[in-house]
Amino acid sequence: MATAITTVPLKAFRLLCAALTGVESAAVVVELAYLDPREPQAADRQAHVHDALRLLAMLRDEFVPAITLFPVVLVNDLPAARHCGEACHSSSHVTAPTYDRWSEAERADWSAELAEAGIGAESVRTFSMRNTRNRATKSIKRVSIKRTSLHCNANGTTAAHSPHNGPGIYQSHSNPLAADNFADVFADTGERQILLASQRLGAPAPMPRCGALMAQHYFDLYRHAAARCAGLTQLWIVDFNRASEGARTARGAEASFVLHPWPRGTSVHVANCVYHPTDPDRGLIQVTDGP
């Protein structure tokens, strides 16, 4: 277990203190870990666990029982060709790992820090990226998709000259010269377009991209908290990300408020704690508010 201390949890704690003081019926979901069997000992992922536990302990001491805390773990059990990251659409055919839960060994490894944070291992909910992908596919198929002439660039944003259509879910051809072969589905937030999925002509279902996976994951976290916290009026979701993941996770949060039926009576804030690639004291927090 890595024990390096970064300033990220302190920054997140100060942000939450300012937002939650005096608030009733609030909940905070903290992503305790992102587990990927392809890099089980990655130092920054271990630091994420340590920082998340530290944040949970500080929140418990300051706010519980006034707020409800929900520690969660996200397991990447997708094959490499569907890996949510730089290799989202690689041609690799690596077999999907059998890794769909937080193992008892890992719970034991973290048992002391969990106990110090006042968290029982049994209270940690595990989410599977594979299940998230399947739900994201259903969500995209379920919404009303409008057609447009816009097309998305390879980085998941529309061409700079393209006009915005207003908030909604749109389908457009990724390559106007091959419009009958492939199309993109994207969320228009009113400020930007965010790529959600791609679909070949005649394919039974779209292929979700990172934006759709994170949009679905954040909505799943809301449903997890809302089902256990009656009368929820304010929800904070705190995620921890590498510098290379910061933009994608923030875009996923923005897309989530367009793609999913968030309740208007609950104030939702997704705080993406982004580590600096070389200096732990320069981590930043990006907050996306909705719905």
Q: Does 155 share its domain with 262?
A: no
Q: Does 36 share its domain with 116?
A: yes
Q: Which of 21-25, 33-37, 193-197: highest mean pLDDT?
A: 193-197
Q: Does 219 share its domain with 267?
A: yes
Q: Does 190 share its domain with 49?
A: no
- Which range of residues forms the domain containing residue 284? 25-138+208-240+252-290
Q: Does 189 share its domain with 46?
A: no
Q: Does 62 share its domain with 179?
A: no
Q: Does 43 share its domain with 180?
A: no
Q: In sequence order, what are the residues at sequence separation of 6 or more whose Cβ sits closer than 8 angstroms to the Cβ of residue 219?
A: 139, 256, 259, 260, 262
Q: Write the single-letter amino acid at 245.
A: E
Cβ–Cβ contacts within 10 Å for residue 86, how many? 11
Q: Does 55 share its domain with 131?
A: yes
Is the per-residue pLDDT at 97 higher than 60? no
223 belongs to a structural domain: yes
165 belongs to a structural domain: yes
Average pLDDT of the chain? 78
Where does the pLDDT of residue 23 fall: very low under 50, low under 70, confident under 90, or very high at 90 and above?
Answer: confident
Q: Does 88 share its domain with 112?
A: yes
Task: Using the CB atoms, write b or e for 169-201: b if 16+ within 10 Å.
Answer: bbbbbbeeeeeeeebbbbbbbeeebbbbbbbee
Q: How far is CA 282 from CA 8, 10, 18, 44, 277, in A?
A: 8, 12, 21, 14, 9
pTM of the model: 0.83
Q: Does 155 share its domain with 177?
A: yes
In the chain, which ranges are continuous DSSP H helix? 8-20, 43-63, 104-109, 111-116, 129-142, 210-226, 246-259
| Total domains in the fold of the chain | 2
